[in-house]
Structures are given as structure tokens and as C-alpha cells.
Amino acid sequence: MRRLPPLTAIEAVVQVARLGSVKAAAQELALSAPALSRRVQALERFIGRPLFDRRHQAMSLNADGERLIAQIAPAIDMLADAVEALTSATDVQRLRLGVLPLFASQRLFPRLPELRTRHPELHLDIDTAGHGITRLGEGLDAAIVLARDVEPALYARRLDRNRILVIGSKAMVDGPDPITEPKQLRTVTALVHRDMPDTFTAWCLAAGVGEIEPLAVDHFDSGALMLEAAAQGLGVAFMHESHFEDAHDARLARLFDIRVESPYSYWFVCRPRALMQRPVKLFHEWLIGALEAPAG
């Protein structure tokens, strides 16, 4: 049998590829940075060529590294599936799902009782850490992500189309100095989600108001916290219409009656072979049907 490199070295390379730095990967694997670097170097010596381009603290896969990760990812998936099958009860189907917290609280969890009734054997491990696409097969079976589009190598199903709203506090509409015209956005802070970085620019261009410079732009990785910041009067949030409507927060108000289509959508994504796994198949089929019906 042909000799294989240590699994720990492969695991180290996969984590660095996913997280982009030795420091972050070392924290994930509970190792020191030098120890993790040695594992990466061990695999590079085994193969006989470097797998990363190294720049200061960051590391990105080179062409050989990308080719290797693409080829070993299915094998890693199969190994994880085999371990899961042996360590889980035979009557439990488990799905490791990456999902953004706001989508989970507004649109997924209100429907989960129906999923449990239909498929009591299906259990979800919920992961809200982000970077769902890059972690498919490396801790996640499937993910619900917010993106413009998804790379063709993955299975992707668009879950919605949306509009961008400018969302502020009620006081911005009903207070003594209401914001009634887009040019007044120069006087406030714009709140923008890191997964939707172009919402502010897209809204301004589509609304025909040019390149307005807000007082500042604050970035969030949590939609729920963006809505809370807007409700507290800390700025105006550029978010989806569904985020506003599903919040049911009387403290919030929509600014301006301007309809701007969003370049971003929610997507269900997984690796193509993952659709052959029963937990992924059950959840995928249920999710598509559930989002076409109102939440119970």
C-alpha cells in the first residue's frame, strides 16, 4: 500500500486553507503556531512542493494547494461521514448546518417544529460562525449563506429575492428633525453588514442619488445587532425588506419610499455529493417547501 502523509498534517493544511492564517488555524486545533507550521511544512516536504503563498501573517493556497484541497476534500467528507455513522445512534440523522443568526431566528426556527413533526429522526447541529461556503465538508454538511452568487462547483439553490431598505428609528421619521430626503443621509452613520458590503452603494445608485458620503460607515457581522443599533438611533441600516418585516419591531421605521432590488440573496449551498446524504436531502427538500409557505 502506498505510504500516506500523517492525517494531522492534512488537517493542519485544510484548516490554514480555510482560515487563511497559521494563528487562526492553530487556535482552531488547540495547537501553538510553531507546532501547526511544522505540520504544514511536513506535508509540503512529503509532497515535495509548497502549497501556500506566504505574505506576512496571511497564507493563501497556491495553484498546487488549491488542486490538492479540491482532490482530498471528498475523501475528508467520506472519512467524516464514516466516523459520524459509527458514533451516532442508528436511528438519528444528523445535519451540520451553517446559518446566519438573523436568518435562523427570523425564518428558520419559526418553521422547525414542522420539520421535527415531519422528520423526528433529523437533528440539526447549528453553526453560526460564518464563512459557511469555505467550511463545507470541513465541519459543515450544508449552509445557508447570503451572497451575490455561488461558485459553479457547488450545488446552490436561491431561497429568495429581496429589496434593500433604509431602516432607522421611529424618531428619525416622527421626531422634530425627520429624515425625509436621501441627501440627509450625509448627517447619519450608515450601518452595513459585512456579508452585504455593497448595499449602501447599490441603494444610492439605484435610487438615483449619486455617491452620498454618510457621516461614517459602521460594519457589522450580525444582522440582529444592526437592527438593534438602528432602533437605538445609532445609524441607519441598509438591509433587506424581509429583515425589517420579520423583525416586527415597533421601534423601527422604513426611511423613504424607494424600491431598490438587492444584488444579494440567501442561498442553500452544499457540495454536490452531499445531496446524496440522507440528512442533507431531507432538510433540503423540506426547506424549499417550507419557505414557499408562511411560517406556522
Q: Considering the domain boundaries, does residue 105 fall inside one? A: yes
Determine the structural domain holding residue 217 and report its residue range: 163-261
- The b/e string for 152-172 (b: 16+ C-beta within 10 A; e otherwise) is eeebbeebbebebbbbbbeeb
**Same domain, residue pair 247 and 180:** yes
Q: Mind listing the pLDDT tens digit for each residue in 171-188?
A: 999 888 899 889 889 999
Q: Considering the domain boundaries, does residue 255 fall inside one? A: yes
Least confident of 102-106, 227-231, 275-279, 283-287: 275-279
Q: Considering the domain boundaries, does residue 171 fall inside one? A: yes
Q: Mind listing the pLDDT tens digit for each residue in 124-140?
A: 999 998 788 888 887 89
- Model confidence at 296, pLDDT cuts 50, 70, 90, reads very low
94 φ/ψ angles, rounded to the nearest 5 degrees: -115, 130
**Same domain, residue pair 168 and 155:** no
E strand or H helix at 168: strand 163-169
Mark which of 26, 48, 82 sits at the end of a domain.
82
Q: Considering the domain boundaries, does residue 2 fall inside one? A: no
Q: Considering the domain boundaries, does residue 73 fall inside one? A: yes
The number of distinct structural domains making up the chain is 3
pLDDT value for 100: 93
| CATH code at position 42 | 1.10.10.10
Mark which of 47, 82, 117 sits at the end of a domain.
82
Question: pTM to 2 decimals?
Answer: 0.69
Compute the average pLDDT of residues 4-29: 84
**Same domain, residue pair 226 and 192:** yes
* Cβ atoms within 10 Å of 209's Cβ, excluding its own: 15
